[in-house]
Amino acid sequence: MVCIVGSFNVDHVWRCETLPMAGQTLHGEYSTGPGGKGFNQAIASARCGVSSHFICALGDDAGAAWARELAAQSHLQLIAKQSVHPTGTAGIWVDARAHNAILISAGANADLDPTFVLQHAAELQGARVVLAQLETPLPSVTQALRLAHGAGALTVLNPAPAPLSHLPSALLEACTVITPNETELARLVPDLDPTADIKALPDAELHALCRRALPQGTVVVTLGDHGCFVSHAQAQLHGDRATHYRAAAYPAQAIDTTGAGDAFNGALCASLAQRSELPFAEHVQWACAYAAFSTEQPGAALSMPDPAAVAQRYGIAFT
C-alpha cells in the first residue's frame, strides 16, 4: 500500500502561445481541472493498480466534491480533514512549447495539521511506501514521514515547491528517498549556485552534491527531458550495483508538462510498493516512462495515464 500525504487544488488553466510577462495582456484558452501535487501523485499511484490512501484537507465546496468523485473513480481511498477554508486553488499558464508557470493558493491545504496526521498513524505505519510534498505545512509532513519511517516504511519526499529555506534535519532524517528537480536540489545544498546547470555537471560532481543534500539516503534528481540522476548512499543501494547513474527520458510529443513530476513520483512509489524485489533502477525506468506519457495529455490529475497505455506506448509493463 502507498500512503500519500499532501494537497488537493482546483486548477484554473490558461493556454497561450507564450507565457505572459509583467504588465502584458494575452489571449488564451481557459479550462479547469483537479490538481495539487499530492492528489496528482495519489491518482498516479492508484491508476497503477496499487492500493493507495490520500491524507489531505478539503473545504466544503464544489472542489471538495470533485476530489471525492475522482478519488472514488480511481479507487483511491480519500482521508480528508474538513476545513472551514475553501479548497485549494492553482492558476496555471501553459505555452505552446508545453512550458508552464503556476501560482497556488493553499486554502484548506494549510489546515492539514499534525494532530490530524497523528490520528491516521495506522495508515501511515501500515504502508509500504509513504510519499509527501511541500504544499502542506512542514510540521505535518515531518509528522507523517517520521511515523512511517519509525515503522519501517520506505519514505519519499518530493521537496516541491522548492523550499524557501533549508529543510529541518528532523524531516530529512525521516526520508529514505528525496526527489528534487534541479531548482529544488539547489535549495537543498548550502552554498550551491542556484543558476548552475545541474544536468550538465559531471556525474561524480552531481553525486557529491546529492550526498550533501541527503547523506543517509537516495536522491533522484528529475531533469525533465534529460531523464533523471540517481544517487545512493553507499550502504543503501536498494538492489542497484552502482552508487550513481543517469536514467534516460522516454520520447514524448509533449503538449502539457503540468504534473509530469507528480506522475514520476506517483509511479515511482507505486512500483516500489508493488514490485519491491526489483532493483531501484527498474522502478526509475517505469517512473520515467509513466511521466513521459503523461505529458501527451492535457491537465494535471486527469493526465495520469493507465499503465496499460504506457506499456503499449513504450513496451515496458508494470507487472
- Cα–Cα distances in angstroms (integers) from residue 195 to residues 7, 158, 185, 186, in the given order: 29, 21, 11, 8
Q: Which of 70-79, 105-114, 136-145, 182-191 shows the lowest per-residue confidence on average (mean pLDDT)? A: 182-191
Query: Element (H or E) spanning 89, and its range?
Result: strand 88-94
CA 140 to chain centre: 17
Q: How far is it, in rounded angstroms, from Cα 193 to Cα 186? A: 7
Residue pLDDT, tens place only, 209-264: 999 999 999 999 999 999 999 999 999 999 999 999 999 999 999 988 889 999 99
Number of helices followed by number of strands (H, E) in the chain: 11, 13
For helices 280-294 and 307-314, angle between their N-to-C axes, nearest 10 degrees: 100
Which residue numbers belong to the known binding site for K(+)? 256, 258, 294, 297, 299, 303
262 is catalytic: yes
Q: What is the pLDDT of residue 99?
A: 85
CA 218 to chain centre: 15
Active-site annotation holder among 95, 113, 193, 262: 262
Residue pLDDT, tens place only, 287-317: 999 999 999 998 889 999 999 999 999 999 8
Q: How far is it, in rounded angstroms, from Cα 88 to Cα 90? A: 7
- Cα–Cα distances in angstroms (integers) from residue 84 to residues 15, 58, 224, in the given order: 32, 9, 37
Residue pLDDT, tens place only, 39-98: 999 999 999 999 999 999 999 999 999 999 999 999 999 999 999 999 999 898 989 888
Residue type at 87?
A: T
- Going by C-alpha positions, the residue among 199, 195, 264, 219 that lies closest to residue 45 is 264
Residue type at 101?
A: A
Q: What is the pLDDT of residue 134?
A: 97
Which residue numbers belong to the known binding site for substrate? 9-11, 36-40, 135, 262
CB 2 within 8 A of CB 52: yes
Looking at the DSSP bridge assignments, the partners of residue 101 are 93
- Model confidence at 102: pLDDT above 90: no
Q: How far is it, in rounded angstroms, from Cα 84 to Cα 92? A: 25
Count of residues for the chain? 319
The grid coordinates listed for 105 are 493558493
Handedness of CA 229, 234, 191, 201 (dihedral sign): negative
CA 152 to chain centre: 21
Q: What is the pLDDT of residue 256?
A: 87
- Going by C-alpha positions, the residue among 48, 35, 98, 95 that lies closest to residue 224 is 98
The grid coordinates listed for 248 are 534516460
Domains of the chain (ranges plus CATH)? 38-51+113-314 (3.40.1190.20)
Which residue numbers belong to the known binding site? 9-11, 36-40, 135, 181, 222-227, 256, 258, 261-262, 294, 297, 299, 303
Which residue numbers belong to the known binding site for ATP? 181, 222-227, 261-262
